[in-house]
Amino acid sequence: MTKKQWFILAAALLALGVIGVALVLALALGFFAGHQEATADGSGLPVYTSEQSASSHAGYRHSTLTCGNDVFVNDYEESALQIMTSDPKPVTGRMAFGDGKICAIPGQPVTAYVAGDCGSEMPAYVPYRNIKQPPFDWRTATFREMTAYRPDRRNPYLTTTNAALLAEIVRNLRDGASVELSEFPFTGVTNLDTIKMTSDQLPGLMFCPSVYYYGNGTIYLAESLMMDATATPPQLHARWIPASPPLTQWLKSP
């Protein structure tokens, strides 16, 4: 190969090198520009937009968190779920508006559930389910423990791991006949709480049906509560089911 030919080849390789470097730089700049857009708050965390609309279930709201192709929802199916910890970590994202955080739920992959700041004055989080994740089906789940709070009792807290009793509350909620309870204002309710049930099929979260200690001594259960804010005063509604004798006996035990 002549000197002239070597020179031409070297020049071509150099040109290709410059083009390659330029191409790499262009790709890198494009990546970082897109990444910066997705993390526009400057925290380096993904930014989620939130929306709320009427649910297909009467009395509930359909809330979503969206970041790119990831969509998480809180609706009727999540209304009775609570996060086990009040301070979930780590922080995995930020709300597009305000200081709201998106956090991982210990025990849950972030591809299934995340904790979303519900916007109260104190830190408070609710679970959001990835729309690709099937809803938790408490009707077929197996629970290992439940705790209940009983107002106006010397020993207000009860805990049990009795498998038969745990299965009884699922059967009671699933198959029991509902009744109407009138005069149920949102404010001033003192005999209303939840039963917290844990399952290995739902790590990091609890299924928490409502329990109402009625004035006549009857105890009622409900899968979850609905609030009618249009009423004056606001009213609570639910599919109330009388507690079965075994469950009533446990809740009234000394």
pLDDT tens-digit series, residues 201-220 = 999 999 999 999 987 789 99
pLDDT of residue 223 exceeding 90, the answer is yes
pLDDT at 184: 61
How, if at all, do strands 101-104 and 81-83 pair?
A: unpaired
Task: Determine what percent of the chain is predicted with pLDDT higher than 70.
Answer: 78
| More confident call, 179 vs 3 | 179
Q: What mean pLDDT comes out for the span 115-139?
A: 90
Q: How confident is the model at residue 190 (pLDDT cuts 50, 70, 90)?
A: confident
Q: What mean pLDDT comes out for the span 51-60?
A: 91
Q: How confident is the model at residue 36 (pLDDT cuts 50, 70, 90)?
A: very low
Please state the pTM of the whole predicted model.
0.79
How, if at all, do strands 205-207 and 81-83 pair?
A: antiparallel
pLDDT at 188: 57
pLDDT of residue 198 exceeding 90, the answer is yes
pLDDT tens-digit series, residues 162-184 = 999 999 999 999 999 999 876 56
